Amino acid sequence: MSRTCLTCQHLKRPDIDRRLAAGEPSAHVARDYELSPSSLHRHRTNCPKLGSSNAIKKEAARGTAAVTLLPSKETLSGAYLELRNRIDQIVAQAEQQGSLAVAVSGLNSLRQTLDSLARLAGHDRAASTQVNVAVQTNVHVELGQIAKRLIEHFDQEPDLKARIAQALVEIDDEQDQPGA
């Protein structure tokens, strides 16, 4: 029959485990909670299955290093500005060559990469803000209605109106293709 872990039975076990998980030396924790160092060592190894305080601190340092390698807000902002400029250039060139769908697809991939980096770095939200979004997916809007409104709204901007019309035609063509 195995021995009962004294640390698991301790009233302050959550605090003890938190300090051990933070990499605090077992000797300090054992002294503060009047536990024997050997009992606490067995607990650390067998119950929460934690490594030594040095191993925990080394892992934390790796995590810190990984976070410091993520791009800053300024770097991401610059990348988005470059992407916006590239989008304008490529759209103009793609319109001339008639390959808008391919160009937009590639740029969308770049944007998704930047979005992922921003999320990883935590730049897509305030530090303590949590946002919950509910999306209603049963909305029925016809493409014709959307096209009409967009074209009417941008009637005074012929270049933009032409780009919107071209994109809508391509969407319509994609939907008409088999397998779409």
pLDDT at 35: 93
Query: Residue ranges of the domains in the chain?
Result: 6-69, 71-126, 135-180
Least confident of 4-18, 44-58, 102-116, 124-138: 124-138
In Å, what is the CA distance from 162 to each residue of 84, 105, 167, 173? Answer: 19, 19, 9, 16
Query: Does residue 141 carry a pLDDT above 60?
Result: no
Query: Cβ(7)–Cβ(47) under 8 Å?
Result: yes
- What is the token pair recorded at 142? 């016809």
At 33 the pLDDT is 93
Overall pTM surpassing 0.75 (yes/no): no
